[in-house]
Structures are given as C-alpha cells and as structure tokens.
Amino acid sequence: MKPTLKNQLDAFTQACRDKDLRLTPQRLEIFKELARATDHPTAEILHQRLMQGMPTLSLDTVYRTLGTFANLGLVNKVETSESQAHFEVSQVQHHHLICRECKEIIDFQWQYIDNASLPEEVHSWGRIDRKNIVVYGTCHKCLKS
C-alpha cells in the first residue's frame, strides 16, 4: 500500500520540524517533485523539471537538498554502478531492477527476502540498517531491439 502524496507531505513537514530543518519553498518543491516521479531521476533531471515552476532554482541547491534529505532518511540514493546518482522518496521496502541497456530502474517487492534474516556473520559485523537487492539484466524492450 503506497502512501498518498498528502501522507508523504505530512511526514515530510513533520520530519523537517523534528530535525530543525527550515521548510523552504525549494525544499518543499524538490520533495514534491521527487515524490511525484515514478522514474528515479538524477539531481540534474530533477533540476530541469523544477526549473519550469522555479526558474531561479540552482542545481547546487538540488544536490545539497537531496543530500540533506538522504541523511534524514527521507529520500534514498539508489545504488547503481552508473556515475550519476539516482534518487527516490523512501517508500515501503522495495528493491531495484536495472536494465544494462537503457539503464531504466524499476522497483519491485520481494517479501521473501524482506522477511529473511541475514546470515549470522553479518549480524556480528555490526548494526544493519538497510538491505537492498539490485538485480541487473536486460529488459524486454531492449531484448527486442
């Protein structure tokens, strides 16, 4: 069950208050744009989209803000082996499928893994906060062409 945009915004504004983070229009817009996105945009792409409604927004602010959000756990930096970082708003636990050809990133869920407990050696390594699966392959669209 995906949270509604409104729920996400409420959680967001609450998190800002909790963390003494000022609720600036830039932060709000960046968060909303990312929450609205179904792809996993890079900072640059997000910046381009936001420029429509906020022509003076700087790319640096997008990077800085995404970094801040990521530290608070409000957004995730998606692990890829690409050079540009991709972002998403933290939702329910999920994993990623990445096409080696077109680089498209798709979410999927896999409860079997979410519920599985990690091997003992991992627990003795330290404190875990996130386990994420990244599956690489080639999507049908690219296989056809």
112 binds, among a copy of itself, DNA, none (CB under 5 to 8 A by kind): a copy of itself
Contacts with a copy of itself by CB under 8 A lie at 77-81, 83, 85, 97, 99-100, 106, 108-110, 112-113, 116, 118-119, 121-122, 124-143
Separation CA 101–CA 138 (nearest Å)? 6
- What 3-state DSSP class applies to 76? strand
DSSP state of 21: -
Binding-site member from 15, 21, 72, 97 for DNA (CB under 7 A): 21
- What 3-state DSSP class applies to 116? coil
What is the enclosing helix (H) or strand (E) of 75? strand 75-78
Separation CA 68–CA 135 (nearest Å)? 27
The structure tokens listed for 54 are 């906020």
Shortest distance (Å) from residue 52 CB to a copy of itself: 28
Nearer CB in complex with a copy of itself: 11/106: 106
Which residues would be at the binding site for DNA (CB under 7 A)?
16, 21-27, 42-44, 54, 56-61, 63-65, 67, 83-85
